[in-house]
Structure 1
């Protein structure tokens, strides 16, 4: 592909945008929360316990309620998930992660809209849905005539 002046400028602007995101307060807060989470032994213990139980959970899911340890594993996974989610470092990280995702979603909407108002940007956040997107979110692609 031949590099045109326009494509070089576009790449430079994309790099500038990426630098702005990385230097934002939101990205900085995300990095701080990630560091705290990764360096807290109790939080890591909860996460590792949940991950190991998740492997058991996936095995149990193959057989469903007919697995001999179904109730035990299902109870353990829910209890450990709750314990992990209530950990202050995990909760703080999840909030920072959501804030960063919201920033990236907003940027995607702006970039997509600058190309065409008909571009649909999958953000996973109904707040950012555009008027041209399927408003009910039923996934039918408009075939149900609800949008």
Structure 2
């Protein structure tokens, strides 16, 4: 690829935009929440243990109720997930993640629309999705509540 002045300008603008995002209130809240969770050694250990349990859960799912540890793993994953979900620091981290994701969705939407109305914009927020309810090509013949 040949670097032109236009290309250099685009990369400079992209760097400036990424720096603005990193300096945003949403990014700062995310970093604070992340640090709060992972600086708590006990909580960090619980998260690590839960990640290992999720791996076991995936193995158990392959065999279903025929796996010898099925009942134990299924119960333990629910108990541990509930405990993590109810942890205030984890809840704050999830909220901060969602707020930062919303910012990223807004930026993606603005960038995509500045190029063309036809640009497909991946988003976790349906408001910013460029697809109609049927635009994703569900392929199920109306299974996504659209009329085929």
Same fold (TM > 0.5): yes
Please identify, of 134-143 and 39-48, the stretch whose mean Cα deviation from structure 2 is larger: 134-143
Please identify, of 112-121 and 61-70, the stretch whose mean Cα deviation from structure 2 is larger: 61-70
* Residue 39 (str. 1) matches residue 39 (str. 2): yes
TM-aligned CA deviation for residue 36 of structure 1: 0.8
Taking the TM superposition and a 5 Å limit, the aligned residue runs for 1:82-97 are 82-97=82-97
1:77 and 1:142 map into 2 onto residues whose CA distance is 32
Structure 1 alignment gaps of length 5 or more: none
1:7 and 1:40 map into 2 onto residues whose CA distance is 44
User: In the comparison of the two structures, how many residue pairs are matched?
Assistant: 145
* Residue 58 (str. 1) matches residue 65 (str. 2): no
Residue 73 of structure 1 is matched in structure 2 by 73
* Residue 17 (str. 1) matches residue 17 (str. 2): yes
Residue 114 of structure 1 is matched in structure 2 by 114
The two structures have a TM-score, normalised by structure 2, of: 0.89
The two structures have a TM-score, normalised by structure 1, of: 0.89
RMSD: 2.1
Residue 128 of structure 2 is matched in structure 1 by 128
Structure 2 alignment gaps of length 5 or more: none
Residue 22 to residue 90, structure 1, CA distance change in 2 (3 Å): same
Q: Deviations over 1:91-114 (max 9, x none)?
A: 111110110011001100000000
Higher relative contact order (CA 8 A, sep 6+): 1
Residue 101 of structure 2 is matched in structure 1 by 101
TM-aligned CA deviation for residue 68 of structure 1: 1.7
